[in-house]
Amino acid sequence: QQVPVNKDAAVCESFAVFQEAVRSVRNIRAEQQVPVNKKISALFMIDDEEQKQRILSEEKALQFLCKIDELTIVERQAAQELSSEEHIEAVVTDGFLIYIPLAGLVDAEQEISRLTRQATKIEKDLATLESRLGSASFVEKAPKQVVDETTAKRDDLAQQLSMVKGRLSVLVEGSNVSV
């Protein structure tokens, strides 16, 4: 018996969302250098009720593939109240977000050291771009596209620095380590 084509498309779409959820959690684990054997908590915010049911039906597989010990589904209102400095957010699809709590995710002392080094590097790079953009000869002589790209890089670095410092302050407050 043949399966209707639209049914196949729905199954493929559902599996693609599942894959993206796994990829998102694994990317966060890699970026945060979470040890491979460490289990984590995750909060999923899924607007679409049908998609939520499909994800819940595969909860055990998600927990296994992502090394999640506690998977919680939260409503949009609760998700909006989560602090970006205390959680890492990943967008799976429009209406499907994953939040990973930072608390207990990594060794606080090591993470503070890593974030401090990262902030220092970003500050140095930011100072270089600020200096370049502050130079009248650069702004006047460089092509507009180069100036725009440099400005965009500076803005991106400033945003990164803000995020790093925010996470750093949360970690410092939550531990007895000083910077």
pLDDT digits (tens, 9 = 90+) for 116-140: 999 999 999 999 999 999 999 999 9
Query: Residue 3 above 60 pLDDT?
Result: no
Cα Rg, the chain, nearest whole Å: 21
Strand order in the sheet with 68-74: 68-74, 40-46, 96-101, 87-93
pLDDT tens digits for range 22-76: 999 999 888 887 888 889 999 999 998 888 998 889 999 999 999 999 898 888 8
Q: What is the pTM of this model?
A: 0.59
22 burial via Cβ count (<10 Å: 0-12, 13-18, 19+): middle
Alpha-carbon torsion angle 73, 78, 81, 82, nearest 10: -10
Contact indicator for 96, 51 with CB cutoff of 8 Å: yes
Burial of 176 (0-12, 13-18, 19+ CB in 10 A): exposed
Angle in degrees, CA 4, 6, 7, rounded to 5? 65
Other CB atoms within 10 A of residue 161 CB: 17
CA distance 162 to 82: 18
